[in-house]
Amino acid sequence: MEKPDLQNMSVLVVDPHDGAAMLFLRMAKQLGFGAGNLAKTVTEATDLLKGNAFSLVIVDYDTDDGDSLSLMSHIRAGYSGWTTTSSIPFVLTTGRPDREIVMAARDAGVDALLLKPVSMKQFEEKILGVMASHLLKK
């Protein structure tokens, strides 16, 4: 698979845990993403989505203030005023490999699921696969 050009793309990482959020952002930048933002809550993410165009959203399943899958539903619905398009790739992360979470993610249309802890190799394979697939659809 040819590596997509990510230099002009940005990522939004939503995770209530500072260490995990920073790690995902650092790994995304190592893959070539030119920019990135962090949010701890769904509310912060929603505010960022209103004024920024993101190429990828990575969200932890266990956010403090809301259902991370509802954030994806809002993105997919293309809420008025949001710069991010409704087809943006959405990656869900979790440290709990419960069948319920996996099934909910699948049913919601999540593009990929990353189980924590995540190695750079696992991150790279999932993210590059999602981005390549997304870019082919354009």
Tell me: the pLDDT tens digits for 4-52? 889 999 999 999 999 999 999 999 999 999 999 999 999 999 889 888 8
Question: In terms of residue numbers, what domain contains 101?
Answer: 10-137
Number of domains in the chain: 1
Cα–Cα distance list, 47 to 9, 13, 52, 100 (Å): 19, 13, 9, 29
SS (H, E, C) 53-83: CCCEEEEECCCCCCCHHHHHHHHHHCCCCCC
Vertex 26, ends 2 and 90: CA angle to 5°? 60
In a domain, 1, yes or no: no
The CATH number of whichever domain residue 29 belongs to comes to: 3.40.50.2300
- The DSSP output letter for 109 is T
Tell me: the pLDDT tens digits for 62-106? 988 878 888 888 887 776 666 667 788 999 999 988 999 989 888
Tell me: the pLDDT tens digits for 50-74? 888 899 999 999 988 878 888 888 8
Residues in the chain, overall count = 138
Identify the three-state secondary structure at position 80. coil
In a domain, 2, yes or no: no
In the chain, DSSP finds a helix count (H) and a strand count (E) of: 5, 5
In a domain, 5, yes or no: no
Residue 37 is encoded by which pair of tokens?
Answer: 């933002």
Name the residue type at position 114. Answer: L
